[in-house]
């Protein structure tokens, strides 16, 4: 099956945004019409929900509440932007996707697995054809995120949380449509590995 919907996933600080731009530049050089989206935002409502979830608060945000709101934002983007773009024969490059909620809210945050199962089955009008995981040691990624300035609520989770995040991603990486790139390498080597993979996928 041809890849028309590609998602780039990984922990905070792994370089997903830059990788999306590299993929976009490659596809455009090949003559493809493509669109970059960033989940779980990407529309006015989705951006508001995501910003609210990331805000530091003086209250505990339950994993189930976080999962439901993330999923609502994701559904808004998928139904209003991604699905129409695919119908227009565009290739969609997504910074994050449903896998991130599985890893962050269910696997690491202990959200209800049955609730996640219902959301996965009922609230994903489209799913990626292929996934690129940018993998790196959580200690390294924490240092990268700290260099950006003040962390948001989700970024402020402890190292143990992000070790679980990495473990969750690597469990997904056993799937045949998952492709892992070492994000600890130099930026130039990561770009080279991305291009090599894209030459296979496209």
Q: Would you give per-residue pLDDT tens digits along the chain (202 residues)?
A: 589 999 999 999 999 999 999 999 999 999 999 999 999 999 999 999 999 999 998 998 999 999 999 999 999 999 999 999 999 999 999 999 999 999 999 999 889 999 999 999 888 899 999 999 999 999 999 888 887 878 889 988 889 999 999 999 999 999 999 999 999 999 999 999 999 999 999 9
pLDDT at residue number 123: 84
Give the domain CATH number at 183. 3.40.50.300
Expressed as residue numbers, the domain containing 23 is 5-201
pTM of the model: 0.94
SS3 at position 7 = strand
From the number of C-beta atoms within 10 Å of its C-beta (0-12, 13-18, 19+), residue 112 rates as: middle
Q: How many domains does the chain have?
A: 1
Q: Are 126 and 79 in contact (CB under 8 A)?
A: no
What pLDDT, on a 0 to 100 scale, did the predictor assign at position 1?
56
Where residue 178 falls (left for φ over 0; alpha for ψ -120 to 50; beta otherwise) is beta
- Residue 191: in which H helix or E strand, if any? helix 187-201
């Amino acid at each position: 099956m041809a890849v028309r919907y590609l998602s780039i996933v990984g922990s905070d600080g792994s370089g997903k945004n830059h990788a999306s731009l590299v993929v976009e530049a490659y596809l455009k050089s090949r003559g493809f019409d493509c669109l970059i989206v960033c989940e779980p935002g990407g529309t006015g409502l989705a951006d508001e929900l995501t910003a609210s979830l990331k805000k530091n608060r003086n209250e505990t945000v339950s994993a189930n509440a976080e999962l439901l709101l993330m999923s609502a934002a994701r559904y808004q983007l998928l139904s209003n932007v991604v699905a129409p773009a695919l119908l227009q024969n565009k290739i969609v490059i997504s910074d994050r996707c449903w896998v991130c909620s599985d890893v962050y809210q269910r696997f690491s945050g202990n959200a209800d697995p049955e609730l996640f199962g219902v959301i996965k089955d009922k609230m994903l009008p489209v799913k990626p054809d292929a996934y690129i995981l940018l993998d790196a040691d959580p200690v390294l990624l924490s240092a990268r995120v700290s260099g950006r300035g003040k962390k948001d609520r989700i970024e402020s989770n402890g190292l143990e949380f992000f070790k679980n995040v990495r473990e969750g991603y690597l469990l997904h990486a056993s799937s045949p449509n998952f492709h892992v790139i070492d994000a600890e390498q130099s930026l130039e080597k990561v770009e080279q590995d991305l291009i090599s993979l894209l030459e296979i996928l496209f």
